[in-house]
Amino acid sequence: MRFSPAAIAMSLVLATVSSAGYSQSADVEIKARSVELMNQGEAAQNAGNFVLATDLYETALAVDPRNGSAFIALAQIARAEKLPGKAIRLYREALILDPNNLDALSGQGEALVQRGAVEKAKINLSRIETLCRTRCDQTDKLAAVIKESEKMPVMSAQAVTPKPQVGDEEPVTETP
């Protein structure tokens, strides 16, 4: 029995096409219950009830941990409560789910400025500018926050402590 190269190629094509149906499809849809809890949390947040909003957002994450919007909403609450470290961590969680999320990048940049890490916020700004070919709201907002932070005085916790120079210290004399 003779096999021609065309028959071998055709069998490879058929094997590839038939196995394509077995591949795993991407499941990027957020569960409806999680979206519903997000909407309730947004209403509570707009009403100023941060405790209820936090509970609803955390429940939305328990229902569907892939809900990046819930991480962003929790981070916004943390920033409003003057907790920039917690906000940065929550924005990082959202960026793990979607590294190109402009809202998470912008929010993280604002939290970094709030914490005093302006240089890291500038890195986020350049990343947003790279992702956004035209002008975006997130670019303008973060650029304004960075520009405003340059006018504020540097706090002692944000200031860099100078390294001591060798020879500047007082000589130590030992007494017997």
pLDDT tens, 106-153?
A: 999 999 999 888 899 999 999 999 998 887 888 889 989 999 888 776
Tokens of residue 1, six digits:
């029995």
CB under 8 A, 24+ apart: contacts of 38-44: 38/67, 38/69, 38/70, 38/73, 41/70, 41/73, 42/73
Tokens of residue 57, six digits:
């957002």
Q: How is the chain split into domains, by residue range? A: 32-151
Check residue 134 and give its pLDDT: 82
Separation of first and last alpha carbons in the chain:
105
pLDDT at 63 over 60: yes
Q: How confident is the model at residue 19 (pLDDT cuts 50, 70, 90)?
A: very low
Q: How confident is the model at residue 69 (pLDDT cuts 50, 70, 90)?
A: very high
Check residue 35 and give its pLDDT: 92
User: Which of residues 151 and 7 earns the better pLDDT score?
Assistant: 151
CATH class of 32-151: mainly alpha
Give the Cα separation of 38 and 59 in Å (integer). 9
Check residue 60 and give its pLDDT: 94
Check residue 103 and give its pLDDT: 92
User: Which of residues 171 and 87 earns the better pLDDT score?
Assistant: 87
Q: Which amino acid is at 134?
A: T
The whole model's pTM is what?
A: 0.69
- Provide the mean pLDDT of the chain: 81
Q: Which amino acid is at 113?
A: V
Check residue 4 and give its pLDDT: 66
% the chain with pLDDT above 90: 52
| Number of residues that make up the chain | 176
In the numeric block, the tokens 């402009």 are attached to 102
